[in-house]
Structure 1
C-alpha cells in the first residue's frame, strides 16, 4: 500500500509556483467570459477528474457544482452519463468531447468533433477545449503532489 500523504500541500505549491497558479487561474476565467455556462463547465471538470482519478479536484468541483445548484441526479450519475437521459444534447456533446480530450491517446474522432460542433460555436469550442485542457492540467498537478481533498468551503484556485 502506498503512502497517501500529500507530497507537498496545495498552499506550498501556490507559494513555490505562483506564476503557474496565476497562469492557470487566468485560463480558468476565459471559458465563462466567453459565455459558456458555469454549470456545464463544472460537469466537464468533474468528468475529467473522474477519469483521471483526482480526489482533490472531484471534491473541489462537486462543491462548486452544488453551489451552482447542478441537480443532484446529474452529479450522482455523471460517471454513467451515457446510460441516462438526464443530460441535454449540449451537455452530452461536451462530455463526449471531454472524454476524447482526456483520453487523448485513443485519438479524437471526426464524429466526436462534428457532434460537438453542432452544439458550440467555434469560439465556444475553443474555450471549452481550453477548459478541458485546464482541468487535465490541474488533475495532473493535484495527483502528482497528492493534494488532499478539503471540506467544502470558500472557492479558491484551481478552476
Structure 2
C-alpha cells in the first residue's frame, strides 16, 4: 500500500538544512546545474566571493551529483578536513539537493506531477536531515509493497552497480530470493536489454533507473511509456522512490564508508514490515 504521507516527507526534506544557509544555497545551485534540473529552493542569495571551504564544497557536490564513483581519496580528505564534524550532515544535504529534483523529473515524465512541491518553503536549520532522511523517509519507502520483491531487488542492484556501492552489491534480499530471484538472473542486469531471464516489465524498470541516475533531465518518452505500460501509477511512484532510497548509498560511497560486511560472496538480508533492514 502506498504511504500517502510520502509526498509530505519529500517536502520536509526540501526544507531541511546542512546547518549553514550559505552552504545550502551553494549545494542546491551546484547539484541542479550539474544534472540540468530545476534547483531546489535556496534559503539565501549569494555574493560572488568564494572561500576555500566554498570551493571544496562545490567541487565535492558537483562530483557527487555527476558520478559519485569519481570522488577519490584526496577529494574526500579535503572535504572531511574542511567540514569536520559537519561533514556527514552536509553530505546528506547534498544528497537531498541531488535526488529530490530527479524524483520530480521522473514523476513528471510519468504524468504524476511533482509530489511534495510547495509554494513557500519554510526552511528549518535546526532539524538534522540525517535522522529525517535515513530513519524516517528511507524506511517509509521500504514499507511500500505495490512492486513485487524481484523487481525491487533488480532496481536496487542496478543502482548499486551504477554507484559502485560495495556493500549494496554484496547483499541479497531474502523475499526476492523466495519469489524467484537468483544469481543467474542478477548476473543479467548488466546487459539487461538482451537478457533472456528478465521480463519486459523488468527491462522497462531498469531503463527508468538508468534514466534517473544518468540522464534525469532527458527521460525519453519511450522510457516513460515503458513504465506506464507495465506498472500502475502506485507502482510507478514506488519505483521512482525506490531509486532514491537505493541512491542513499551515494552518501556512504562519497565518504568511503561502503565496505561490505562479508569478505567473499554475498550476505542475505530482508526488509521487515516496518521498513527496517534485518541481516540474517
Post-superposition offset of 1:69 = 4.4
Give the whole-Å Cα distance in 1 for the aligned partners of 2:207 and 2:277.
23
For 1:57-68, list aligned pairs within 5 A.
57-60=168-171, 62-64=172-174, 65-66=176-177
Q: Is the 8 A contact 1:27 1:131 kept in 2?
A: yes
SS at match of 2:230: coil
Give the whole-Å Cα distance in 1 for the aligned partners of 2:167 and 2:242.
17
1:153/1:37 CA distance change after superposition, 3 Å: closer
- From 147, 150, 153, the equivalent of 2:261 is 150
1:112/1:22 CA distance change after superposition, 3 Å: same
- Counterpart in 1 of 2:126? none
RMSD between superposed Cα atoms in Å: 3.0
Q: Is the 8 A contact 2:160 2:168 kept in 1?
A: yes
Q: More displaced, 87-96 or 146-155?
A: 146-155
Alignment of 1:115 onto 2:229: no
Alignment of 1:43 onto 2:138: no
- Counterpart in 2 of 1:89? 200
Q: Tell me the number of residue pairs that the alignment of Structure 1 and Structure 2 aligns.
A: 146
Post-superposition offset of 1:111 = 1.0
- Counterpart in 2 of 1:52? 163
Q: Which blocks of at least 5 consecutive residues in structure 1 are unaligned?
A: none
Post-superposition offset of 1:91 = 0.7
Normalized per residue, the structure richer in helix is 1
Give the whole-Å Cα distance in 1 for the aligned partners of 2:226 and 2:197.
18
Alignment of 1:78 onto 2:192: no
Deviation sequence 1:44-101 (CA, Å, 0-9, x none)? 01011111111111113x3545465412211122111112211011111111111111
Give the whole-Å Cα distance in 2 for the aligned partners of 1:154 and 1:52.
20
Give the whole-Å Cα distance in 2 for the aligned partners of 1:148 and 1:67.
26
Larger radius of gyration: 2
Q: Which blocks of at least 5 consecutive residues in structure 2 are unaligned?
A: 1-71, 81-87, 90-128
Give the whole-Å Cα distance in 1 for the aligned partners of 2:132 and 2:188.
36
TM-score by length of 1: 0.76
Q: Is the 8 A contact 1:57 1:142 kept in 2?
A: no
Post-superposition offset of 1:105 = 4.6
